[in-house]
């Protein structure tokens, strides 16, 4: 099984550009999440989707939007990238009280 | 909301020694406490977890203890090996779909 797949793995954006980070899981999980990881700050939740058709804000949602396209896919969009959004982004999925599975991450640099 | 603090931020041990990483949480309603290991360039991977109805859980060289009264939990790694070198994160959750709140991570270095 592929588990959780994120694309792209690396991206460089100019300030003000937009982009969408893609995430897909093949484990039939109901819940999906987007986290960002910054040095010394652990992983912070940006948005989550408890089930298909629902999305909610996490701890740091400003500057981001999400779409739960179907049960498998959960995308994160930066409408107007800022240097403060330079980070490593992780997508994760869970089912009930089961283990959270993470993708390999997208390393984003905004210049 | 929940707040999770993790210590130490870095930990260096000799191969064969034990390593202990500690976390405290603020929300007494939290009832799920996983530990994740993150190797360089990879996403976090679950290594062990514990629920609030259990005080201790072991899996080979790894153990987790939970003190609900004091609101802290710890990861214990015995007989450390160089391949244990990684960043370890604790987390806590009080929701059925695991909206996890993470600690800031501990970089463990095991020297041969």
| Phi-psi category of residue A61: left, alpha or beta, with phi > 0 → left and psi -120 to 50 → alpha | alpha
- What is the C-alpha to C-alpha distance for residues B83 and A90, in angstroms, rounded to an integer? 23
Considering chain A, what percentage of its residues have pLDDT values greater than 90?
87
Bridging pattern class, strands A106-110 and A10-13: parallel
pLDDT of residue B42: 93
Q: Across residues B46-73, what is the average pLDDT? A: 93
What pLDDT is recorded for position A41? Answer: 84
Say whether A90 and B32 touch across the interface (CB within 8 A). Answer: no
For residue A49, which residues of chain B lie inside 8 Å, CB to CB?
A: none
φ, ψ of residue A8 to 5 degrees: the values are -80, 180
Q: Chain A partners of B105 at a C-beta cutoff of 8 Å? A: 40, 42
pLDDT tens-digit readout, A29-72? 999 999 999 988 889 999 999 999 999 999 999 999 999 999 99
CB B7 within 8 A of CB B105: no
Segment B67-85 shows an average pLDDT of 97
Q: Does A90 touch chain B (CB under 8 A)?
A: yes
Task: Please give the Cα distance from A32 to A69 (Å, whole number).
Answer: 11
Q: Considering only CB atoms, which chain B residues are within 8 Å of A41?
A: 104
pLDDT of residue A13: 97
* Shortest distance, CA A68 to any CA of chain B (angstroms): 16
Rg value, chain A, Cα: 13
- Judged by CB atoms closer than 8 Å, whether chains meet at B97 and A96 is answered as yes
Out of A40, A97, A105, the one facing B32 most closely (by C-beta) is A97
User: Could you tell me if A96 lies within 8 Å of chain B, comparing CB atoms?
Assistant: yes
Cα torsion at B37, A85, A66, A18 (round to 10°)? -130
A42 touches chain B (CB under 8 A): yes
Q: Which residues contact A55 (CB under 8 A, 6 or more apart)?
A: A47, A48, A49, A66, A67, A68
Q: Quick one: DSSP state of residue B70? A: T
Q: Write phi, then psi, for A70 (nearest 5 degrees).
A: -165, -170
Cβ–Cβ under 8 Å, residues B87 and B106? yes
Nearest CB to A104 within list B42, B51, B97:
B42
- Asked if the Cβ–Cβ distance from A58 to B89 is below 8 Å, we say no
Minimum Cα–Cα distance from B40: chain A residue: A104
Q: How far apart are CA A19 and CA B44, in angstroms?
A: 24
Q: Judging by beta carbons within 10 Å of its beta carbon (0-12, 13-18, 19+), is residue A74 exposed, middle or buried?
A: buried
**CB of B44 closer than 8 Å to CB of B89:** yes
Closest CA to B10 of B108, B88, B90: B108
pLDDT computed for residue B96 by the predictor: 58
């Amino acid at each position: 099984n592929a588990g959780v797949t994120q694309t792209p793995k690396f991206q460089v954006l100019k300030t003000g550009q937009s982009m969408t980070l893609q995430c897909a899981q093949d484990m039939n999980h109901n819940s999906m999440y987007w986290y960002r990881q910054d040095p010394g700050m652990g992983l912070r939740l940006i948005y989550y989707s408890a089930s298909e058709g629902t999305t909610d804000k996490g701890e740091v949602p400003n500057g981001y939007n999400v779409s739960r396209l179907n049960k498998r896919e959960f995308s994160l969009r930066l409408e107007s990238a800022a240097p403060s959004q330079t980070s490593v982004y992780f997508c994760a999925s869970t089912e009930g009280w089961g283990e959270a599975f993470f993708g390999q991450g997208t390393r984003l640099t905004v210049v | 909301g929940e707040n999770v603090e993790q210590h130490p931020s870095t930990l260096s041990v000799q191969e064969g020694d034990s390593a202990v990483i500690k976390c405290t949480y603020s929300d007494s309603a939290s009832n799920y406490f996983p530990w994740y290991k993150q190797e360089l360039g990879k996403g976090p991977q679950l290594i062990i977890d514990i629920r609030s109805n259990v005080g201790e859980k072991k899996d080979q060289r790894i153990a987790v203890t939970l003190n609900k009264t004091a609101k802290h939990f710890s990861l214990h790694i015995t007989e450390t090996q160089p391949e244990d070198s990684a960043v370890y994160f604790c987390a806590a959750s009080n929701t059925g779909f695991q909206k996890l709140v993470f600690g800031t991570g501990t970089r463990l270095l095991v020297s041969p």
